[in-house]
Structure 1
Amino acid sequence: MNRRQCVRAISDTESESDQETMKCLSCLEDYRSRDAGTCKECYDEANETEEELKREIEDLKAKVAFLRFWSPLDHLHSRSNAPCFTDIVLIATGDGPEGYSVPLPAHKAVLVSRSPVFKAMLENEMEESRSGTIKISDVSFDALRTFVNYLYTAEACLDEQMAYELLVLAEKYEVKHLKAHCEKFLISKLNWDNSILNYTFSHRHNGKHMIDAALAVIIENMDKLTKREEYMELVETDPRLVVEIFEAYMSKQVNTAASKDSCVE
């Protein structure tokens, strides 16, 4: 083969390589192999979709910022004398000397819009509506302040103790968004040491997701369960929950055995 023929052969090989096609993972259409990844149409469409999603996210952030209420509690920590136009106060009667703590100002309209319980309380001319004061027992001042602030901002700085207290308030006043937020936080802190406590707590306050998560941890440590002091207390105070634990454990054992038998077949 002379030099001219060799060059032509190489050129023909390159030409054939250029014509090789691959299948796009997005639209499953054929495209030339040198356009690695996806075809140009799908690539451009993906970029357009990404930009559109970014615009939608920014739009939603702007709407949230516009709709976000400022909290009247900010005035408790500022030197501003500007009026906050509040028309009701909440008091935690479980704190302070003789059960009294600092009144927390709020707006009836906000309480009514955030909680069906507050709505029923304030729309039906109950004592709280007439007096302009809502007294809440068995709650700390800090927890109530955080609770009221959440009703305005949907934000709360949590530690485990605060999450427990807020979940109780959220359950009592049917603030579902806050309850879900606290459940998610407590589940993230779940471990063997606090699993029985969280299991009983979540049963008392209807924390379905937390019940399932705590039960899963307990079942994984059944060999150590009966040695725990919390377990012995549970046997005395609520044997129904003990039965539920063992039923869930036995159900898991049966399902595991059935799965193994199925694999053998």
Structure 2
Amino acid sequence: MGPTCLSCMERYYESDGGTCKVCYEEANETKDELKREIEELKAKVAFLRFWSPFDHHSRPNGPCFTDVVLVATSDDHSAEIAAPVPAHKALLVSRSPVFKAMLENEMEESLSGTIKIADVSYDALRSFVNYLYTAEVSCVDEQVACELLVLAEKYQVKHLKAYCEKLLVSKLNWDNSVMSYSFAHQYNSKLISDAALSFITDNMDKLTKKEEYVELVEKDPRLVVEIYEAYLSKQVNTAAR
């Protein structure tokens, strides 16, 4: 009797890598087929990709044909001196339902060709617009990632928000947990909220000593109540085991 094939669980005599000859050949055919499908998808993505105004390598001297600019602003308008970020209305409309509503109607932004984005840095705004074109985010620090998440939430760009959530969760620690918990509630991020809450409830003996905790008590006591409710629930579950 021969060994058992790891794929079909049948006995075999001719084999390769722990599988019978039939299963091995079928696996190779499937692998080749998946490779072809991946290459086809890459070709479609390349064809559908809307070239970015920042893509100077592909269009070093050619016109961008942009028809709208986005400008980073602040409450005191001091940031309006930052360089405008060029874009195409058609692209913004196709990527964000908020931009779609804004630009399809005779709102100020549609008529003037200028969209003012409040309380965001130029770097974050540029990264945000570039993502709308390429679905790619260059290396960003935590501050820019937070700004991008805010923009993604405001303009309903779900894929970007998910990316930022994962990045920020990977940067979570005890020191930034309270601030991250508050931030997550403000911008509807359950992923960050749950991860931050886990850090907090694991360190409750140190919580009241944190400056961020004192600020949270003053600004949003509701979240403090939720923290203690989560901690008590965790204690009950632990005791019941």
Q: Same fold (TM over 0.5)?
A: yes
Does the aligned pair in 2 maintain the 1:22–1:33 contact within 8 Å?
A: no
| SS of the residue 2:116 aligns to | strand
Matches within 5 A, 1:1-265: 20-32=1-13, 37-74=18-55, 80-94=60-74, 97=78, 99-157=80-138, 158-258=140-240, 260=241
Cα-Cα RMSD = 2.3
- The answer to which of 115-124 and 238-247 deviates more is 238-247
- In structure 2, runs of 5+ residues without a counterpart are none
Which letter does structure 1 place at the counterpart of 2:199? V
Q: Report the equivalent of 1:4.
A: none
| Count of aligned residue pairs for this structure pair | 239
- Percentage identity across aligned positions? 73
Which letter does structure 1 place at the counterpart of 2:196? A
Q: Structure 1 36/82 Cα, relative in aligned 2: closer, same or farther at 3 Å?
A: closer
Q: Structure 1 92/21 Cα, relative in aligned 2: closer, same or farther at 3 Å?
A: same
Does the aligned pair in 1 maintain the 2:71–2:80 contact within 8 Å?
A: no
- In structure 1, runs of 5+ residues without a counterpart are 1-19, 261-265
Q: For residue 124 of structure 1, report the CA deviation from its aligned partner.
A: 1.4
Provide the rounded CA distance (Å) in 2 between the counterparts of 1:219 and 1:69: 45
Provide the rounded CA distance (Å) in 1 between the counterparts of 2:2 and 2:79: 82
Q: Which has the higher helix share?
A: 1
Q: For residue 144 of structure 1, report the CA deviation from its aligned partner.
A: 1.0
Provide the rounded CA distance (Å) in 1 between the counterparts of 2:123 and 2:3: 63
Q: For residue 219 of structure 1, report the CA deviation from its aligned partner.
A: 1.6
TM-score by length of 2: 0.91
Q: Structure 1 22/182 Cα, relative in aligned 2: closer, same or farther at 3 Å?
A: same
Q: For residue 82 of structure 1, report the CA deviation from its aligned partner.
A: 2.1
TM-score by length of 1: 0.83
